[in-house]
Amino acid sequence: GAGVSQSPRYKVAKRGQDVALRCDPISGHVSLFWYQQALGQGPEFLTYFQNEAQLDKSGLPSDRFFAERPEGSVSTLKIQRTQQEDSAVYLCASTLTTGRTEAFFGQGTRLTVV
Among positions 22, 74, 87, 110, the unique one binding another protein when judged by CB under 8 A: 110
DSSP letter at 25? Answer: P
Q: Among residue numbers 31 through 70, which ones bind another protein (CB under 8 A)?
A: 31, 33, 35, 37, 39-45, 48, 55-56, 58-59
Among positions 19, 60, 91, 111, the unique one binding another protein when judged by CB under 8 A: 91
Choose between 16 and 107: whose C-beta lies nearer to another protein: 107
Q: Is 106 in the site for another protein (CB under 8 A)?
A: yes
Length of the chain: 114
Are 57 and 41 within 8 A, CB to CB? Answer: no
- Supply the minimum distance, in Å, between the C-beta of residue 96 and another protein: 12
Cα separation of 100 and 32, whole Å? 12
- Supply the minimum distance, in Å, between the C-beta of residue 79 and another protein: 19
Query: Per residue in 4-39, is it b (16+ CB within 10 Å) or e — as a string?
Result: bebeeeebebeeeeebebebbbbeebbbbbbbbeee
Alpha carbon 18 to its chain centroid, in Å, reads 15
Which parts of this chain interact with another protein (CB under 8 A)? Answer: 4, 31, 33, 35, 37, 39-45, 48, 55-56, 58-59, 89, 91, 93, 98-99, 101-108, 110
